[in-house]
Amino acid sequence: MKKISIVSPAWNEAENLPVLCERLLEMAKGLPQYEWEIIISENGSKDESWEILQRLHADHPEIKAIRLSRNFMADGGVMAGLRLASGDAVIIMNADLQDPPELIPEFIEKWEQGFQIVYGVIEKREGEPIWKKSISAVYYKFVNWLTNDLIPRDVTDFRLIDRRVAIAMNRLGENNRFTRAMSVWSGFSVAGVKFIRPPRYAGESKAPLGDLIEEGLNGIFSFSVAPLRLTLFTGFMFALITVIFGIYQLLATVLWGANFPGYLTLVFINLIVASLLFTMLGIYGEYLAKIFLEVKGRPNFIIWDTVGLAPPTIAEMYDDPYSHGRAAHLPDGMETLGGGPKPAPQPTEKST
């Protein structure tokens, strides 16, 4: 019997978790030919999310949970779930019910046809303001131009990935993750399923505007060097314009005796050049900051506790060749990565 794992990061989703799990369980009943596990990555919530997950697990053992030490953003929660998921296929979805569980059977059908990545494509967004839809459309066009159409328009994080894709993503040790693009970048066969995205079931969006902007920039700077090349191209263009303008002024002065006061022109050009220079420095700074974060090698997530799942051991993290995704390593002498670590047995000295 094939096993399907569902991974959903949740941050302060106490109102949505019972309904989410209820709808997932109802959906699973319609597909009894599969074994199911539902993994919720509780991302350092301030509400009762963890207590609710514990109660849900007591009533339904197939509902499992990971408690992270703090909010590691959605991608950190997803990677923690992927690290512990054991299914032949893994479904990634949000906990706010904007990703309808009833669409999962269509994902599985595509997967059984041989597609290794099946993602949801938003056909219509219900309840979203026009300005947000417009920004989303412009962003996707811009990102696709920079990344050679790596991220199709209106694609969401709601997707099914084959076990082989999950293994490949776990092996990617980078810190600046953009899960939406990473799975497609892996090169496996893909298919899309269109759906109408409903509004949140309860509560308000937990993602601040700053986090959305950071995620958008991460999608650009993590998968494209085009901004760097654009700065080089801009430099060449300005050099060419400068040469042409200089030749023109020289000829105009020698041949026609034209007088160029040029005060306002010089001020205008200096302002443009200064603006471009600072913009270029900002682009360089973004790449430098990402290098800085990567070099530090900090984990993408830290597991505090689990329910229904065994935390990975130190041996698993170091010895498993398919588990190089960055997770927290406990200090020497600790056996587990969460759920009440205990001291490891100390080796005895050999007599000489």
Distance separating alpha carbons of residues 63 and 342, to the nearest angstrom? 26
Q: Are residues 122 and 260 in the same domain?
A: no
Where residue 68 falls (left for φ over 0; alpha for ψ -120 to 50; beta otherwise) is beta
Other C-beta atoms closer than 10 Å to the C-beta of 5 total 24
352 residues of the chain, pLDDT tens digit each: 899 999 999 999 999 999 999 999 999 999 999 999 999 999 988 989 999 999 999 999 999 999 999 988 888 899 899 999 999 999 999 998 999 999 999 999 999 999 999 999 988 877 666 767 777 777 777 777 776 777 777 888 899 999 999 998 888 877 777 777 777 788 899 999 999 888 877 766 655 556 666 666 776 777 677 777 777 777 777 777 777 777 777 777 777 766 666 665 676 777 777 777 877 888 888 888 788 877 877 788 888 889 998 766 544 554 443 334 444 433 333 333 444 333 344 444 443 3
Q: Are residues 240 and 113 in the same domain?
A: no
Tell me whether residue 308 is in a domain.
no
> Among all chains, which residue has been given the structure tokens 């030490």?
69
Give residue 266's domain range: 226-296
Distance separating alpha carbons of residues 176 and 250, to the nearest angstrom? 51
Q: Are residues 88 and 162 in the same domain?
A: yes
Q: Are residues 142 and 289 in the same domain?
A: no
Last residue of a domain, one of 178, 206, 234: 206
Task: Tell me the pTM.
Answer: 0.73
> Among all chains, which residue has been given the structure tokens 């420095």?
281
Tell me whether residue 277 is in a domain.
yes
State in Å, rounded, how far the first CA of the chain is from the last one: 54
Q: Are residues 235 and 170 in the same domain?
A: no
Number of domain units in the chain: 2
Q: Are residues 65 and 154 in the same domain?
A: yes
Q: Are residues 106 and 155 in the same domain?
A: yes
